[in-house]
């Protein structure tokens, strides 16, 4: 069942990313000459509607984390645009950016490294409120208490330090901090992959509940296709800096089109030992982003590679009969 507010109007776009590129120079030698670029993000585009979740999935080094951080302007973009509520994130002045940041937050993967061990939980969650001058004194205390309750922690925990908490509880603290300024958009960067299985389910359920209650919009970055498809409305699969396939989550699962998506899906361990599974395995390993293959970046590993593939870069286009199922592969266009 879908809550009425979650059926967004098509024009209700909160975040629009267009042809975003993030290239990191590789310097060598005494003078630090630039000898090449790692094209971590190499031309991705998508639109994210209010109250929805877009899952960004791919293996290590595919550029998904860099994409999330570039969108928040935590890493400078090489080119492309990001519009948040119609305003350019890259073009605005620092003062305005600060205001915009209130509405765009991030939850990190590592609940151990992302909380300052010398601050109390109350200090950590209250910091954004103080920095932005939103609340102080009694009001701040109340707000911290209600944030803690919101994420399922006792308000009395505010005087404790991060090391006193388990991984799952720390992740709740990280979520409370992200929620402090009442954001509209949250980048969730592998928020459950460092957690135990039983705790993963708790955190995923919490994120879903918060989205419903607060009308949040998520960019959910993860390597685990099962986790991503569980929480996302739409899923984009990344490979070597590009989106190779994007579709509504159930459609992507029912009918994966891109050979890389098929490989990813068939590599997921089966749910039951009885289940027969024929694997489609990509050949070899992911090539370096410093020196990506010409044409389709997946062609050296693709079981269906054709003559065109090493020559022509495929475009991300709708599949036949499925206007909202985009795929970048010569097999379909």
Partner 1 sequence: MTQSADILLSVDGLTTRFFTDEGVSYAVEDVSFAIPRSRTLALVGESGCGKTVTALSILRLIPDPPGRIVAGSVRLGATDLLRLPEDEMRRVRGNRISMVFQEPMTSLNPVFTIGDQILEAVVLHKKVGREEATRQTVAMLHKVGIPDPESRIREYPHQMSGGMRQRVMIAMALVCGPELVIADEPTTALDVTIQAQILDLLRSLQADIGMSILLITHDLGVVAEIAHHVCVMYAGRIVEEADVQELFDNPLHPYTVGLFRSRPSLEHRGPLAAIPGTVPSPLAIPPGCPFHPRCPLSDGAKCAADRPPLETHAAGHTAACWYAGRVAEMRTRGEPLYK
Residues near partner 1 (CB under 8 A): 59-60, 166-169, 196-202, 204-205, 223-227, 229-231, 249-250, 253, 263-275, 279, 281-282, 285-286
Alpha carbons 207 and 218: distance in angstroms, whole number: 9
The nearest distance, CB 41 to partner 1, in angstroms, is 18
The nearest distance, CB 221 to partner 1, in angstroms, is 15
Nearer to partner 1, 88 or 288 (CB): 288
Nearer to partner 1, 120 or 202 (CB): 202
The nearest distance, CB 245 to partner 1, in angstroms, is 15
SS (H, E, C) the chain: CCCHHHCCCCCCEEEEEEEEEEEEEEEECCCCEEEEEEEEEEEEEEEEECCCEEEEECCCCCCHHHHHHHHCCCCCCCEEEEEECCEECCCCCHHHHHHHHCCEEEECCCCCCCCCCCCCHHHHHHHHHHHCCCCCHHHHHHHHHHHHHHCCCCHHHHHCCHHHCCHHHHHHHHHHHHHCCCCCEEEEECCCCCCCHHHHHHHHHHHHHHHHHHCCEEEEEECCHHHHHHHCCEEEEEECCEEEEEEEHHHHHHCCCCHHHHHHHHHCCCCCCCCCCCCCCCCCCCCCCCCCCCCCCCHHHCCCCCCCCCCCCCCCEEECCEEEEEECCCCCC
The nearest distance, CB 276 to partner 1, in angstroms, is 12
Alpha carbons 131 and 101: distance in angstroms, whole number: 12
The nearest distance, CB 254 to partner 1, in angstroms, is 10
Nearer to partner 1, 14 or 263 (CB): 263
Nearer to partner 1, 75 or 267 (CB): 267
Nearer to partner 1, 140 or 286 (CB): 286
The nearest distance, CB 148 to partner 1, in angstroms, is 16
The nearest distance, CB 293 to partner 1, in angstroms, is 16
Nearer to partner 1, 183 or 282 (CB): 282
Nearer to partner 1, 71 or 228 (CB): 228
Nearer to partner 1, 119 or 199 (CB): 199
The nearest distance, CB 280 to partner 1, in angstroms, is 10
Is the Cβ–Cβ distance between 178 and 104 less than 8 Å?
A: no
């Amino acid at each position: 069942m879908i809550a009425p507010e979650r059926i967004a109007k098509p024009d209700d776009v909160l975040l629009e990313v267009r042809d975003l590129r993030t290239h990191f120079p590789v310097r060598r030698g005494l003078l630090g000459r630039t000898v090449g670029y790692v094209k971590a993000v190499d031309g991705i585009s998508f639109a994210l509607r209010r109250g929805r979740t877009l899952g960004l999935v791919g293996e290590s080094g595919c550029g998904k984390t860099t994409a999330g951080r570039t969108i928040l302007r935590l890493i400078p973009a090489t080119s492309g645009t990001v519009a948040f509520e119609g305003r350019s994130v890259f073009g605005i002045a620092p003062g305005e950016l600060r205001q915009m940041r209130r509405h765009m937050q991030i939850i990190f993967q590592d609940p151990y490294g992302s909380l300052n061990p010398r601050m109390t939980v109350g200090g950590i969650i209250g910091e954004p409120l103080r920095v932005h001058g939103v609340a102080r004194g009694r009001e701040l205390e109340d707000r911290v208490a209600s944030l803690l309750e919101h994420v399922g922690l006792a308000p009395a925990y505010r005087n404790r330090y991060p090391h006193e908490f388990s991984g799952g509880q720390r992740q709740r603290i990280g979520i409370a901090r992200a929620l402090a300024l009442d954001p509209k958009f949250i980048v969730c960067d592998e928020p459950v992959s460092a957690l135990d299985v039983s705790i993963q389910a708790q955190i995923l359920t919490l994120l879903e509940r918060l989205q419903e209650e607060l009308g949040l919009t998520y960019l959910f970055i993860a390597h685990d296709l099962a986790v991503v498809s569980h929480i996302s409305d739409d899923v984009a699969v990344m490979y070597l800096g590009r989106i190779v396939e994007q579709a509504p989550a159930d459609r992507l699962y029912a009918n994966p089109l891109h050979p890389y998506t098929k490989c990813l899906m068939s590599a997921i361990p089966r749910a039951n030992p009885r289940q027969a599974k024929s694997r489609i395995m990509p050949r070899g390993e992911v090539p370096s982003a410093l020196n990506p293959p010409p044409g389709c970046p997946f062609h050296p590993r693709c079981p269906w590679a054709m003559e065109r593939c090493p020559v022509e870069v495929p475009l991300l286009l709708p599949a036949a009969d499925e206007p909202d199922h985009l795929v970048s592969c010569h097999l379909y266009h």
